[in-house]
Chains A and B, each alone.
Chain A
Amino acid sequence: MKTILEYLDRQAEQRPDKAAFCDVQEQFTFSEIKKITDIVGSVLLRHGAAREPVAVLLPRSAKMLAALLGVMRAGCIYVPLDLEMGELRLSSVFRQVEPRFLISDREGIKAADTFGFSGEALEIDLVLSEEPEREKIRAAEEKVLDTDAAYIVFTSGSTGAPKGVIGKHSAMLDYAEQLTAVLKVQESDVFGMQAPLYVDACLKELLSVLKCGASLWIVPRQLFSSPVPLVTFLKEHEVTTVCWVVPALMLISALHTFDEIIPDTLKTVAFGSEVFPGKQLKLWMDHVPARYINLYGPTECTGMSCWYEVPATFSQEDSIPIGRPFDNTEILLIDESGALAEEGEICIRGTAVCHGYWKDPVRTEAAFVQNPLQSAYPERIYRTGDRGRWNSRGELEFLGRIDNQIKHMGHRIELGELEAAAMKIDGVTAACAAFDPQRKRLALAYTGNLTKEDLTAGLRTIIPDWMLPSKTIRLEKMPLTANGKTDRRQVFALCFQKTK
């Protein structure tokens, strides 16, 4: 098996009429999805696309998921995009990838112009009115190797430019194998999908559905501000499995939703990317009898790398480890001297490790390094920048970041990217971001001659909402350390000191 499309082909044969990718507008069966991938693949090949990145800029929808697989069908590399990512990041993506082809709708094609896209735009509905050419596709598929790049997803970069993580087919197959074993996915499962489609998080649902013949429903984004309609949606569609960020689950538990409605169709609740407050997790466990699984993993290792099933005896004071690695993945804790340690930087090895960052050898070399414990042959491992330790039960515990990366609303944010965005706004002369992990507040201190309102208005046009600081402060002078660097500690204190 070389690519996940073989799962799709098998499902299209075994359960052609089963609805697989669903959103509130459209539902596609496995055979319909296969047909879409055949058409998209054929059209791309007809236009001369070959083993190259193809940007897909569409609203978060079942159709977009099918289009991504269609890019793969042509033996090309999909680059999932959403207008929600903001102008700054989208422009950077188009500049870095320079795709020759874009699949989008009218709105997206118009917008892509302003992001500097100069290639050939294919409007999705026109594409889908064409006919598939199976011979062409078969020839392209034969050339694909499982080590080839399958997709590029962009993640926050500390110097401002987001990094394009290159996922490969073999890692997707491996992830599908390991993840569905951990989640115990069955054909009867229905996933309620919360993640945006431009991040690796959406692979959890996508791969589970393709591998096991399950189904997914894309949960409308606006429901994540109304807990009762959100739970009603889950019940209506008989959702059995959610893999959500913690704030989305807390929206339900912290706001007394269980007093009114219980999401009783759920069998598996997986969460990750942020610490789940014990009290909230306990509320979930007391009201919804399901398996609760903490997942951990970086985009650079395809998706999730570690898992921990919360025992039924969990009490709210207990800490929640990130547990143990998936099968076929190894976690190495490496200390500053490069030796294995009980506590150190979490490094990951295995098929899941991605190829690196698109057209970025410098940042690739820094994060994808030779395994220091292997001197006999080249073996790349990924340095996560996270600190961890093994507890007495042999489970991995997460201790925080080594650098200035934070996790906010389920998104990875490099403070440097926010700072670089602020510096792009006319009138800003210096910027420094700070994050208070306890209260989950993101703040930005700046110097310059524009007002806080103008700064926020400027940021709003270029970065996604989840990256907006909730507080900005204007300083006369940026505090500096003795050796002339921005004094982050002092900025933190200035941002979060009590004003009352």
Chain B
Amino acid sequence: METLLDILSELHPDVDFSKEQNLVERGILGSFDIVMLVTRIEEEFDTVIPARLITPDTFRSAEALYSVIQSLEDND
């Protein structure tokens, strides 16, 4: 989880991702952010996030995103 929070705060140092909710709806993450974020997560966690999982729901919060990453790791 810490690695993910690091990646997120590198992207937007001003946002407290441990608290923020609805990152996409609230306009915190735009389409370019999502591209950057997913690419970084895939590098860092050595995983692939399938496109169908890229929805505002996945980016609801840092925790929600982390649980998606974990579920992918479990499947490996």
Contact = CB atoms under 8 A, between A and B. Distances in A.
Given A254-B38, A256-B51, A225 B31 contact: yes
Interface string B28-49: 0111111110110000000011
A100 interface: no
B32 A409 contact: yes
Interface string A408-426: 0100000000000000000
A260 B50 CA distance: 8
B14 A225 contact: no
A248 B32 CA distance: 8
Contact of B55 (A229, A251, A471): A229
Nearest to B53: A228
A257 B13 contact: no
A470 B33 CA distance: 10
Interface residues of A, number: 29
Contacts of B50: 256, 259-260
Given A227-B51, A255-B49, A247 B12 contact: no
B54 interface: yes
A255 B35 CA distance: 7
A465 interface: yes
A310 interface: no
B32 A227 contact: no
Contacts of A465: 27, 30
B56 A251 contact: no
Contact of A259 (B32, B36, B51): B51
B43 to A, nearest CB: 12
Contacts of B39: 254
A255 B38 contact: yes
Contacts of B32: 247, 250-251, 409, 440
A453 interface: yes
Interface in A4-50: none
Contacts, number: 77
Interface string A210-253: 00000000000010111111000000000000000001101100
Given A247-B35, A254-B35, A225 B56 contact: yes
Contacts of A227: 51, 54
A226 B14 contact: no
B12 A225 contact: no
B48 A256 contact: yes
Contacts of A261: 51
Contact of A222 (B13, B35, B36, B56): B56
B55 to A, nearest CB: 5
A351 interface: no
A292 to B, nearest CB: 19
Given A226-B56, A228-B51, A409-B30, A251 B14 contact: no
Contact of B14 (A229, A260, A453): A453
Given A225-B31, A247-B35, A470 B54 contact: no
A305 interface: no
B11 A470 contact: yes
Interface of B: 11-14, 24-25, 27, 29-36, 38-39, 48-52, 54-56, 59
Given A255-B35, A259-B50, A452-B14, 17 more contacts: A225-B24, A225-B31, A228-B51, A247-B30, A247-B31, A250-B32, A251-B31, A251-B32, A254-B35, A254-B38, A255-B34, A255-B38, A256-B50, A409-B31, A470-B12, A470-B14, A470-B33
Interface of A: 222, 224-229, 247-248, 250-251, 254-257, 259-261, 409, 440, 452-453, 456, 465-466, 470-472, 499
